[in-house]
Amino acid sequence: MKRSSFYLAAAGLVLGSGSVFGQLPPLQLPQASPEASVSQTVGLTDITITYHRPAVNKRTVWGDLVPYGQVWRAGANENTTIEFSSPVAIGGKTIPAGKYGLHMLPTDKGDWSVILSSVASAWGSFSYDEKEDVVRFNVAPKPADFEERLEYRFENPTETSADVVMAWEKLAVSFPITVDTNAVVMASLKSQLRGLPRFGWQAWNTAANWAFTHDQDLGQALQWADQSVNTQVNFTNLRTKAAILEKKGDTQQAEALRAQAMKIATEADMNVYGYQLLGQKKYDEAIAVFKKNIKDYPNSWNTYDSLGEALAAKGDTKASVESYRKAMSMTTDPAQKKRIEDILARMKA
């Protein structure tokens, strides 16, 4: 194309196709109030707050930049959102899983209102409608260290709760979120057991044991234990089922299952069981288990090693040294020999 023809074509494009250029995306530049998000897992429940972070920038924030008596987006730009992966309790009300708009109503009279709206896609609070409130409750703001940019964070997390904190300028607003974690976990286990884990005994046993240890629906726990045993009978799931039956009051069948478990226990089973007892500070019971393991597997250096640890925990140093020396004489692993030598050296010291 001749240069003159190129310029004519370009001019025609500029003059005749304004709509083409009007559709081009704008350039991306840094935002005055950058976007941020913060998340916290409570039990199995994920909580995420997404917001934009305005700066103080030498301005008067409360009562001026953020007017009193007007619903505020609790951030900048789009409304702040808070999202839950499962139901939670806020402000005395159960909130279903989902994403919500988070607004606040600041006042100069002490208490503020915190508001969760069913609309999470609004621009700021300009279209806020009280009829769309999911929950509204009062909180008391407190003096805080200076924060140039608005910040959300989670404090005091536990398995069932966490506190949301909004801090900006010299003020902080906090409110708790609680979760019925046991109910969430039970529902999750039921869902997970519909997938691939259902084809092995381990998942059924894990679910049964969790329900048992957390006193959750022992009938369901027993069904899961039965499914594990039906998939593959072993020491671990027989003892899980026995524990559930005992808690339900059937001590006779529980004892029968424990006896059956002992008959089929492997060396590894007994070793794990012994360490469980050791962790519970049941030293005599742990020692008895490790001694039985030595009787059943006399050629295993590890059985003597485990017994040595249990005897040391009880305070029987002489017997512990003897057992450790036996283990060291039997193992051919240089790393294990060195480890046992170090233990014996410390015991002599």
> What is the tens place of the pLDDT at every residue in 47-80?
999 999 999 999 999 999 999 999 999 999 999 9
The confidence band for 7, taking pLDDT boundaries of 50, 70 and 90, is very low
Q: How far apart are CA 243 and CA 248, in angstroms?
A: 9
Half-sphere exposure in the Cβ direction for 337 (13 Å, CA): 6
Mean pLDDT, to the nearest integer, of 72-96?
A: 96
- At 14 the pLDDT is 47
Exposed/middle/buried for 27, CB within 10 Å: 0-12, 13-18, 19+? exposed
Residues shown for the chain: 349
Q: Which CATH architecture has domain 183-348?
A: Alpha Horseshoe (1.25)
Neighbouring CB atoms inside 10 A of 69's CB total 10
Task: Give tens-digit pLDDT for 137-146.
Answer: 999 999 999 9
Query: 94 forms bridges with which residues in the sheet?
Result: 89
pLDDT band of 156, cuts 50, 70, 90: very high
**pLDDT one-digit tens code per residue, 191-221:** 999 999 999 999 999 999 999 999 999 999 9
For the chain, the structural domain boundaries read 35-179, 183-348
Q: Give the model's pLDDT for residue 19.
A: 58
pLDDT at 268: 95
